[in-house]
Amino acid sequence: MELDSIDRRILAVLQRTGRISNSDLSEKINLSPSACHRRVQRLEAEGYIRDYVALLDARKMGCPSTIFVEITLSGQADELLDAFEREVALIPDVLECHLMAGTADYILKVVAADTEDFARIHRQYLSRLPGVQGMQSSFALRTVFKTTALPV
């Protein structure tokens, strides 16, 4: 399915205001409520809209520190990559894991309460991941810009 300008407007609004009513959404994009509802259902069915979530405030949830961890593995065999990816997905403090091209094999986005909490996460989880040869952690000092909205 090709996205037209109306689909893109719907997606842009829903990315920023996921709880908007169909009536308000249809008003914003200048489409009848029934046509708007059908389009949203189609976008959901076709997988353009994956899910609806609540974005929580990390500071209020007790994990204001963001740490980016570069991980180098001891090898590139499929079995090692699969084992690493399986295990890292089980760590509750890891928000993102990306397989990389470049110096690091993976980059993780980790949240923690503070440096002591990160030390716990490092000891309890990260250092025990399969095939890890090296790790370098960088603490974010301040989040300058953050969004979950994709360009549409």
- Whether residues 41 and 76 share a domain: the answer is no
- Whether residues 71 and 121 share a domain: the answer is yes
Average confidence (pLDDT) over 75-83? 97
Q: How far apart are CA 152 and CA 42, in angstroms?
A: 17
pLDDT of residue 1: 79
Residue 148 counted as domain residue: no
Secondary structure of residue 94 in the 3-state scheme? strand
- Whether residues 70 and 41 share a domain: the answer is no
Phi, psi of 82 (to 5 degrees): -60, -45
Residue 33 counted as domain residue: yes
- Whether residues 30 and 82 share a domain: the answer is no
Residue 145 counted as domain residue: no
Domain residue limits at 126: 65-139
pTM: 0.90
What's the pLDDT tens digit per position in 22-78? 999 999 999 999 999 999 999 999 999 999 999 999 999 999 999 999 999 999 999
pLDDT of residue 4: 96
CATH number at residue 97: 3.30.70.920
pLDDT of residue 88: 98
What's the pLDDT tens digit per position in 90-145? 999 999 999 999 999 999 999 999 999 999 999 999 999 999 999 999 999 999 99
- Whether residues 132 and 70 share a domain: the answer is yes
Q: Is the dihedral of CA 50, 53, 55, 56 positive or negative?
A: negative
What's the pLDDT tens digit per position in 12-31? 999 999 999 999 999 999 99
Residue 127 counted as domain residue: yes
Name, in order, each residue with C-beta under 8 angstroms of 61's C-beta and a sequence gap of 6 or more. Answer: none
Domain count, the chain: 2
- Whether residues 28 and 89 share a domain: the answer is no
